[in-house]
A and B are shown apart, each in its own frame.
Chain A
């Protein structure tokens, strides 16, 4: 987030909102059992484990659901199976297995006793039935993950009769000739020698972030270069920023807006020598808690224009603003604070 680059909107009542995308580059170690499952998938082979009751689990159970014992007996199951339930995805969503309408299905693979979830390619919901037969469509470039199975394809004119499934020798409609597979998010895995050891599953979720009406005056002030806090209706402390409009000590609503600063006093600080992802200031630098004049609660900001060893508690500082064209509804409109050169304050009354 940087001052002039915030992509924000104002709503009818003046509230600030902004798009927010959370993304996490999850890389999950898979453990021994799933390592074998994913490694087999990469080799275009589907394997499950057998539980104490004789049931074959695909994906494999790591531990027996009934006894809790480790499942150690592996069973190779078929590439064909039977739909035991299904639902239609008329409007495919991002990252789903197919980007044209498709069916979700619980599929009991031949030789397995527990269904797995996957997508079934079908022209329309009319083509899909419970009891319908399907066959796996492998990825052209299997990487060791559930998405090595692009989806399942319907086996024409084959339907499970009551009792044993028919042999899995039906026509195989899958393969590289089929288009329509969406890029999958599960994607890459890491291997140790021959075995898959880690699954990369980045996730991304988009939100509309709203600052809430309690912050409106504060953010409007920042757009104009003013520092606006709010006073607790109960204990009279002045909060900058005004948080969520509630005094965290009293749980009473915050009331009057109060212009504070712009100068303030350092209440404590640290010298940052550690590089980290996303750092945008050259180390070493000073991060300080500053209580602005007129406020009762400190805020954190950078101290620049002096050597780190000269920074001290009680030091008077003032903001250095970025060029006005770069301002947004953000405290980053202030690039940093610098010493005013005034005498230190001996007693600081900030409470936090």
Chain B
């Protein structure tokens, strides 16, 4: 039988379009903030789990120095995931399921502006037959967008522009983002292509950020929080790494993860989905069975207006949880992705009591 686990507190650092802070400097105040909000001491935390990738800021073993931000004395139980913080959250959830701890702090930093992020993202590709071509991430997403446009489904350039316009608008209202110039979908469609068929606004803006959440099980969650955001289901699925061997016009792994997380077929008040490219949000809505008329989609603005890679997925969990914690949503979907063209997908259903 699984243990009930909830997100009981979240904290985000306001995103920056380019920071000179180190990863530790990004994380330290975020961690202090989330512990204050949860009302627990460092010594009460049963497990610390960190998501990041050294290639983002180019500092080898920066995940080791990030332990400085925790204060690891007396010795603590700590783990690191070379990936998005949302995957660290999944690890922490599993750790709590084992009964080894009742509370966990999950944190992530994404410092993506220190290098040429698109070039860096080639390094996640098949090193034998794909990476030697140095395609980056955006060109591959553009191939996927073309396949979707050719398929003639929900993905159209106009629908992509609507997604981008909504992201800019929501980002302007998000205190952790706050930038952007509002534009209508028609205005966006007049702009030139970047990697055609993608325009610049179809691609997540690389920014720097940090985020942390506190997980707690059962009574611990209830004692820390009036209205915990219970994780009712969580599942992670992966499509093949061979772009040619899977359908790029759907997200099969998201659909399976959604089914296992219990997302499908129920009323969902809000969904925070990690779509680094506009057409991918449309694919995710289909895979998750979400209707924008009935569900608020990415009220934070999502990753198009601010994409601190390796933190952006955990930001989606924090944003979804915030709305349950605040009582403005009863049921929320949080989603994270990694790999090229939505290769890996993590879906969770959050619920208030």
Chain A interfacial positions (CB closer than 8 Å to B): 11, 13, 15, 17, 20, 22, 26, 28, 30, 34, 37, 55, 57, 59, 61, 65, 84-90, 93-97, 104-106, 108, 114-119, 125, 130, 145-147, 184-186, 199, 201, 203, 205-214, 243-253
Contact between A246 and B128 (Cβ–Cβ < 8 Å)?
no
Chain B residue, CB-CB nearest to A211: B22
Cβ-based interface call for B225 (8 A): no
Contact between A94 and B134 (Cβ–Cβ < 8 Å)?
yes
Contact between B131 and A201 (Cβ–Cβ < 8 Å)?
yes
CB distance from B274 to the nearest CB of A (A): 21
Contact between B20 and A88 (Cβ–Cβ < 8 Å)?
no
Q: In the assembled complex, which residues on chain B have CB atoms less than 8 Å from the CB atom of A55? A: 245
Report 30 cross-chain contacts, Cβ distance below 8 Å, ordered by A residue. A65-B242, A65-B245, A85-B150, A86-B143, A87-B145, A95-B134, A96-B135, A97-B133, A104-B135, A104-B140, A106-B143, A106-B243, A106-B244, A114-B244, A115-B243, A117-B129, A117-B244, A146-B133, A186-B133, A201-B132, A214-B25, A243-B24, A244-B65, A245-B25, A247-B71, A251-B28, A251-B32, A251-B42, A251-B69, A251-B70
Cβ-based interface call for B197 (8 A): yes
Contact between B21 and A210 (Cβ–Cβ < 8 Å)?
yes
Q: What CA separation (Å) do A89 and B59 show in the bound complex?
A: 29
Contact between B242 and A114 (Cβ–Cβ < 8 Å)?
yes
Contact between A20 and B129 (Cβ–Cβ < 8 Å)?
no
Of the listed stretches B79-87, B115-123, B167-175, B299-307, chain A binds B115-123
Contact between A28 and B116 (Cβ–Cβ < 8 Å)?
no
Q: In the assembled complex, which residues on chain A have CB atoms less than 8 Å from the CB atom of B68? A: 243-244, 246-248, 251
Contact between B20 and A17 (Cβ–Cβ < 8 Å)?
yes
Q: Chain B 7-26 against A: per-residue CB contact (8 Å), 1 yes, 0 no?
A: 00000000000001111110
| Known A-B contacts A117-B130, A243-B24, A246-B69; A88 and B196 likewise in contact (beta carbons under 8 Å) | yes
| Known A-B contacts A65-B240, A206-B115, A251-B32; A118 and B127 likewise in contact (beta carbons under 8 Å) | no
- Contacting A at CB under 8 A, from B178-202, are 193-198
Contact between A209 and B58 (Cβ–Cβ < 8 Å)?
yes
Q: Chain B 259-298 against A: per-residue CB contact (8 Å), 1 yes, 0 no?
A: 0000000000000000000000000000000000000000
- Contacting A at CB under 8 A, from B40-58, are 42, 55, 57-58
Contact between B22 and A214 (Cβ–Cβ < 8 Å)?
yes
Other A-B contacts than A85-B144, A214-B22, 4 sampled, CB-CB below 8 A, are A87-B198, A90-B194, A125-B196, A146-B128
Contact between A90 and B196 (Cβ–Cβ < 8 Å)?
yes
Contact between B248 and A85 (Cβ–Cβ < 8 Å)?
yes
Q: What CA separation (Å) do A17 and B42 show in the bound complex?
A: 32
Q: What CA separation (Å) do A13 and B21 show in the bound complex?
A: 12
CB distance from B168 to the nearest CB of A (A): 23
Q: What CA separation (Å) do A86 and B135 show in the bound complex?
A: 12
Cβ-based interface call for B136 (8 A): yes
Contact between A115 and B59 (Cβ–Cβ < 8 Å)?
no
Cβ-based interface call for B331 (8 A): no
Contact between B146 and A116 (Cβ–Cβ < 8 Å)?
no
Q: Which of A13, A37, A186 has the most CB of B within 10 A?
A: A186
Chain B residue, CB-CB nearest to A130: B150
Q: What CA separation (Å) do A125 and B192 show in the bound complex?
A: 13
Cβ-based interface call for B92 (8 A): no
Q: In the assembled complex, which residues on chain B have CB atoms less than 8 Å from the CB atom of A186? A: 132-133
Q: What CA separation (Å) do A184 and B134 show in the bound complex?
A: 10
Contact between A87 and B197 (Cβ–Cβ < 8 Å)?
yes
Q: In the assembled complex, which residues on chain A have CB atoms less than 8 Å from the CB atom of B194? A: 90
Interface size class of B (residues with CB under 8 A): 35 or more
Residue from B20, B116, B120, B129 within 8 A of A146 (CB atoms): B129
Chain A residue, CB-CB nearest to B29: A253
CB distance from A199 to the nearest CB of B (A): 6
Contact between B20 and A212 (Cβ–Cβ < 8 Å)?
yes
Q: What CA separation (Å) do A93 and B117 show in the bound complex?
A: 12
Q: In the assembled complex, which residues on chain B have CB atoms less than 8 Å from the CB atom of A206? A: 115-116
Q: What CA separation (Å) do A247 and B57 show in the bound complex?
A: 22
Contact between B28 and A244 (Cβ–Cβ < 8 Å)?
yes
Q: What CA separation (Å) do A246 and B198 show in the bound complex?
A: 42
CB distance from B127 to the nearest CB of A (A): 6
Contact between A15 and B20 (Cβ–Cβ < 8 Å)?
yes
| Known A-B contacts A206-B116, A213-B21; A116 and B196 likewise in contact (beta carbons under 8 Å) | no
Contact between B139 and A248 (Cβ–Cβ < 8 Å)?
no
| Known A-B contacts A65-B240, A105-B143; A207 and B58 likewise in contact (beta carbons under 8 Å) | yes
Contact between B244 and A244 (Cβ–Cβ < 8 Å)?
no
Cβ-based interface call for B224 (8 A): no
Q: Chain B 144-184 against A: per-residue CB contact (8 Å), 1 yes, 0 no?
A: 11110010000000000000000000000000000000000
Contact between A28 and B195 (Cβ–Cβ < 8 Å)?
no
Residue from A57, A104, A247, A250 within 8 A of B139 (CB atoms): A104
Cβ-based interface call for B142 (8 A): yes
Q: In the assembled complex, which residues on chain A have CB atoms less than 8 Å from the CB atom of B127? A: 26, 28, 201
Chain A residue, CB-CB nearest to B242: A114
Cβ-based interface call for B31 (8 A): yes
Contact between B132 and A208 (Cβ–Cβ < 8 Å)?
no
Q: What CA separation (Å) do A209 and B12 show in the bound complex?
A: 23
| Known A-B contacts A201-B127, A205-B120; A84 and B21 likewise in contact (beta carbons under 8 Å) | no
Cβ-based interface call for B72 (8 A): yes
Residue from A116, A207, A248 within 8 A of B244 (CB atoms): A116
Q: In the assembled complex, which residues on chain B have CB atoms less than 8 Å from the CB atom of A85? A: 143-144, 146-147, 150, 248
Q: What CA separation (Å) do A208 and B32 show in the bound complex?
A: 27
CB distance from B89 to the nearest CB of A (A): 21
CB distance from A250 to the nearest CB of B (A): 5
Cβ-based interface call for B60 (8 A): yes
CB distance from B340 to the nearest CB of A (A): 10
Q: What CA separation (Å) do A253 and B73 show in the bound complex?
A: 15
Contact between B118 and A210 (Cβ–Cβ < 8 Å)?
no
Q: In the assembled complex, which residues on chain B have CB atoms less than 8 Å from the CB atom of A211? A: 22
| Known A-B contacts A125-B196, A205-B115; A87 and B143 likewise in contact (beta carbons under 8 Å) | yes
